Chain A
Amino acid sequence: MSSLLRTEGLTKRFAGLIANEAINFELDTSSIRCVIGPNGAGKTTFISMISGHLQPNEGRIYYKDQDITKLNVVKRARIGIARKFQTPTVFDELTVYDNIELAVLGTDCPYNDRNKNINEVLELVHLTNESDKPVKFLSHGQRQWLEIGLLLAVKAELLLLDEPTAGMTVEETESTARLIKNLTQEFQLSMIIIEHDINFIRDLNAPVTVLHLGRVLMEGSFEQVSANEKVREIYLGHGNS
């Protein structure tokens, strides 16, 4: 019962289409879980139910042993569950600094510590030099980091990252993997990461949950999952990887 997040029989149907069916999931504090699966497997639906953007038809969600199934997005964000969307959702017209500041304003951080906190986050996500730039001038990869920075700035404990490396170069992807590992180890953060980039998942070296047609196909280490015949068949493709 010491898990950070637990779901029991989580089910979501859209007008007859079953997006998620009876998903039982458990995540420990300060750990990473990658969620993979082909398009339409229900990965984003799953994350949306945890963030509160979607209400499940059946099942329950427990966060720190509290039933949060009925809490809305705002309340879940307030207890530490924050989400990075599939398309970077940041404040395009504002500067990088102002973006992070907005997130810090959502915490009880006293006025005098704001600047320090903002700069710490900028440092973590490698955006110190871009601090005064309007976000619309950032590269796609930097926007992804900025959004992760927003989640750090609100002091989230469970980060839901929907395709955090989409649009990143190989170097940026590697750097993101290092950042994520560092965050879980140093700040005891936990992450659920939806990804397609196999190299990134290998770099993270974290347990993987495979979704297929809305159900959990299997869970295991990257090696176990990538060696599994069924997974290779539906997701990785025959003899590939």
Chain B
Amino acid sequence: MVTKEEIQNIAKLMRIDIENTDEYFERVQKVLSYFDILDKADIEGEEIPVQEISIENLREDQYAPFNDKLIQQLKNYKGIYIRAPKMN
């Protein structure tokens, strides 16, 4: 059984700050225990599929002008700067 502390730690790493902690953890824990059903699956010797896209199938790496002023849609955009919270 996954503990509340383990779930709490993951939430913190995901930068999720939640109220009603208990309710969240109960439900997350319930879903995680349901995932235990995977332990019963007979998947001995199965490989892990990967999604392959060959490099020839990518579009050409070309400059395409985009005229809209996308940057002005940013939050807290001033002059030529974006205001972000302090790093520490």
Q: Do A and B bind each other?
A: no
Residues of B within 8 A of A (CB): none
- Which residues does A use to contact B, with CB under 8 Å? none
